[in-house]
Amino acid sequence: MNDPIPEGKWKRTAVGGKTAVNVGGKVLKYLAKKPFLKEKEKVDAKHSLENEFASEIFKGLVLLKGTALKIAQLLSTELDLIPKALRKELEKSYNQVPPLNKALVRKMIRNAFGKPPESVFKSFDHTAFAAASLGQVHLAEDDQGRALAVKIQYPGIGKTIKNDLQLVRNIAKPTPYARFVLPVLEEIELKLLEEIDYVLEAENTSFFHERLKMDHIEVPKVISDLSTDKVLTTEYLEGPSLDAWIAQDPTQKERDRIAELLYDQFLYAMFRLNCLQADPNPGNFIVKKNLTLGLVDFGCVKRFSAEFAELFRETFITMIEGDKNQYFTNLEKMQVIHVKISPAKQEEIYKVLKKSGEWFAKIYEKDSFDFGENPDFIAEGKQVMQETYQYKKYFRPNPELVFINRTHYGLIRIFEKLKARVRFISPHDWKH
């Protein structure tokens, strides 16, 4: 049996407090032995301490489950801090959110529409077919015979988000990750509160339904008269989620086709719409029988200017092609660099950053990149990026980049799962 989610502010605070004590204990232990260590031993001990920090933080979030687990998942994607040993535990726990019982589901529908489900819909399945940390989805049918997906928000979720984010801040403050984690938490809080604004999500869904006009890409239509701020109703897209579809063992050609659609819609949304569905969770992609790709769940959407999209593209090119001066200039424009860096230190940092550019450039070396033959591409990149952490005091995360990178790298993780062969378009041609 799964451990229950700690309920109530005090119980959840107790779990967070225990995590903070564990983190503090490790700091004191490190400081006590630091004066007696040689220089290399100090470096090794600090590196070990940072890994233990991350381990304790994510263990605490896994115990809290619920919205804290959603926060953990976002942090692991944005900052890639999660220790490898905990990734599987996090993924497993993310699906352990208990569903609302039938009585509460009926109450939520009555509160939203002033009448019970059977008076609102022609038919309504009280058992959710999809659930996550912020809400759950039910299958229904309207008077016109249309199959509908009805998403119901968990009651009190807004207050839980704020409480859990404060717990995470308290845990993160004494750690060396604070400089990176705290600004990202601000952006995560804004996006999570947007995700529970179903009026805004309805607008986002309609935006993509009307503007993402691509062959074999489908976004469901919002049923406005059956939607409120706590209930969102759309057309139901029939088909398995991407993970379930992969489990059906599709052919290589089929996997390549779905990866191509995922990549093409990302570039289209990024450079033509300047708006991304910024939650590349396999559960948000539906594979229909004709290999049409359905996109669902537009709670997490990031909009940005055409100028910023172009700056991102140019920075990507300079990273891959090795234009040091322009690369640092672009980082300053993006406000990623927040302190003055001497030319000598720039050269030192760039030698490390260049390795990440060389790593990513591999996907452009041939007509297509085979993730089946390169199953550890992301793991290799993570190892390269770890070398840059020694220079973290010179950088700060840009909130715009947080969600662009989250989407970009999230899709690449999906390509790894698909073992797909992907034809990556040169960043020189991204906006075309």
* DSSP per-residue string spanning 245-313: HHHT---HHHHHHHHHHHHHHHHHIIIII-EEE----GGGEEE-TTSPEEE---SSEEE--HHHHHHHH
- Evaluate whether 296 touches 267 at the Cβ level (below 8 Å): no
CB atoms within 10 A of CB 138: 25
pTM of the model: 0.78
d(CA 256, CA 264): 12
Tokens, residue 322: 């090795």
Report the pLDDT value the prediction gives residue 184, as an integer from 0 to 100.
72
User: What is the β-pairing status of strands 293-295 and 217-218?
Assistant: parallel
Strands (E) across 70-206 are located at 123-124, 130-131, 135-141, 147-153
Q: For the chain, which residues score pLDDT lower than 50?
A: 1-7, 10-17, 19-21, 27-28, 30, 65, 83, 85-86, 89-90, 93-95
Question: What is the three-class DSSP state of 27?
Answer: helix
Radius of gyration of the chain (CA): 23
Report the pLDDT value the prediction gives residue 331, as an integer from 0 to 100.
87
Report the pLDDT value the prediction gives residue 12, as an integer from 0 to 100.
47
d(CA 396, CA 394): 7
- Evaluate whether 57 touches 172 at the Cβ level (below 8 Å): yes
d(CA 95, CA 367): 37
Residue 193, classified by CB atoms within 10 Å of its CB into exposed (0-12), middle (13-18) or buried (19+), is middle
Question: Rounded to the nearest 10 degrees, what angle do helices 157-172 and 66-79 cross at?
Answer: 50
Report the pLDDT value the prediction gives residue 192, as an integer from 0 to 100.
83
Tokens, residue 360: 């990513």
